[in-house]
Amino acid sequence: MEFVFDSPLDMHLHLREGAMMERVTPLTAEHFSGAIIMPNLVPPVDNLDRLQKYRDQINVA
């Protein structure tokens, strides 16, 4: 039996920040069609402003 996933999702992805994000984000984009990002950061992403800034960092990476 063989399973082929043409367009998998990463349902629990920690991108972190800085160099780790810059390394992980392109690899994830290459191998997955989407991801659920888990931003376990200090300070936490707990308001709209921080969420937008984190999203912008991800888009640049």
Give the pLDDT confidence of 2-60 residue by residue, as tens digits: 988 888 999 999 999 999 999 999 999 999 999 999 999 999 999 999 999 999 999 99
| CA 25 to chain CA mean position, Å | 6
CB 30 within 8 A of CB 6: no
3-state secondary structure of 43: coil
> Vertex 61, ends 4 and 35: CA angle to 5°?
35
- pTM of the full structure: 0.80
